[in-house]
A and B are shown apart, each in its own frame.
Chain A
């Protein structure tokens, strides 16, 4: 699958509190409403200015902090097609795959705010059309690729009746 969209750039250490603030705890059972606040404490205007299909691009340790699956869920629900970062926190990474939000680990210094990207999810290669550079991302471990390809963990278990990782 090829994804195309524009880049919204964030820094290092974007925590799950920045993505999905604790003060909206009461909206956790109302995901469309919660999604209106996605990344609000990192960029208060993000949800209103982004377009469906755009990319979130960040630095080190994206998604550190709590285990709230609501964080990757509302990024996806807001219409972001993939998150690119230099590195991801562990629980966030696993959650994102489980909810079917593609993540790419790559050298994001070569991407700037507003750049147009074209991403081939099958190969993990990223084309920065604005800067005319090609980037490669670290491939997903096979177990996680299987889950992502099935459409997330729920769909994976529904399809196989069990974990089927190799």
Chain B
């Protein structure tokens, strides 16, 4: 039977010739937690007297509250460190970076089954891994037993032809897709991204697509593993982790969505849902108090490069704060060595340590009442940045950087479109 990527991976990892709709028990290659979901997972295992780890990689990332802003969270971190030491799980310390960025940099590989105690665990799907978010108990048990259960999802194939016009990026594409499908448009489904635009895309840009698959309700967002994947892993010294992986010709898709990349313009997700997307011209003149460039969605080197290109030699608007947060230590070092951090600081910005930064409202950039943040993150729910009275808009790093200069939401094609 011709298989989708999801069917292929889960068949191989369950040892069953399985198709969409089947329930399988699959081997877990990577089981990951962050510091907000890990403590509950650890306590569940302690309750069961099952303090062991059996996945190929079992990892705890201290990234959401890193460094810790409160004693309660510091104590949670101690719990994770102690558990890791006892069981041999890997501990990713303060400063190493956001879970999903670190997973693609160092752990996930094509064909893997990856479960993470964080909804954006679907990010590793761009490497051709069946990667999905689950709750603490599910991940804890998957980590301890080295297996978990899945219902194999039906797949929506997202076919993107042509290429982007200048000033338009993969973030605009995924915001457009979520706006089209709706926040629950792909609930329980797998997305498979394919087409010329995807073939030509860097891994950095592909991660953005897979990262936000969950914002359409999807279980994962898969991309075939090709030469671009191989190059990425090679650069990270992991070429041996590469295998080619693609869906079979004739695999059956529940739905096919065709998009012409050349038709797309910059997108903005308005508060308070990600599917509330409009084109940038419908958002002009909205004043922004805070511009945030970072997160597991758009805190990678490619994102910082485009932002620095726009900000170089300029100053952010007087009433706008700029916060930049590299997604990992490697991204931070790369940005430092290439002078990008200096560009941000000279432009009036502030650099946060690698991690989630202000994304989830724990620390570092909580909004005041009625304040507006234009962010490169993946979520804009009410209360997301620590205050239900704040407003979060989402956009690409280019749009955020250019808007920071203007002080209002602005179209980056005004500077990038002319090239």
Contacts and interface: CB of A to CB of B under 8 A. Distances in A.
Interface of A: 13, 15, 17-18, 21-23, 25-30, 41, 60-61, 64-70, 72-73, 87, 89-91, 94-95, 98-99, 141, 143, 152-154, 157-158, 162-163, 165-166
A7 B44 CA distance: 31
Contacts of A165: 23, 25, 149
- Chain B residues touching A, range: 35 or more
Contacts of A98: 135, 137-138
Contacts of A143: 23, 149, 151
Contacts of A25: 36, 64-65, 73, 360-362
A17 B381 contact: yes
Contact of B361 (A22, A67, A91, A94): A22
Nearest to A65: B381
B156 to A, nearest CB: 14
Q: Which of B148, B219, B360 has the most CB of A within 10 A?
A: B360
Interface stretch (B181-189, B233-241, B253-261): B181-189
B221 interface: no
Given A41-B388, A91-B133, A163-B147, A23 B75 contact: no
B37 interface: yes
Contact of A29 (B39, B47, B48, B387): B39
A17 B385 CA distance: 10
Interface string B24-54: 0100000000001101100010011010000
Contact of A23 (B151, B183, B387): B387
Interface string B50-90: 10000000000000110000101101100100000000000
B183 A13 contact: yes
B361 A23 contact: yes
A87 B187 contact: yes
B151 A61 contact: no
A89 B386 contact: no
Task: Kindly name the residue among A13, A67, A68, A165 whose own CB sees the greatest number of chain B CB atoms within 10 A.
Answer: A67
Contacts of A61: 183-184, 187, 217
Interface in B340-391: 360-362, 366, 379, 381-384, 386-388
B48 A28 contact: no
Contacts of B273: 13
Nearest to B184: A61
A92 to B, nearest CB: 8
7 A-B pairs with least C-beta separation? A69-B135, A95-B135, A22-B361, A61-B184, A26-B72, A17-B381, A67-B133
B23 A66 contact: no
Interface string B132-154: 01111110010001011101000
B118 interface: yes
Nearest to A70: B40
Given A89-B187, A89-B217, A153-B141, A66 B118 contact: yes
A157 B48 contact: yes
Given A22-B383, A98-B138, A154-B47, 9 more contacts: A13-B183, A17-B382, A17-B384, A22-B361, A67-B116, A67-B117, A67-B135, A90-B187, A90-B217
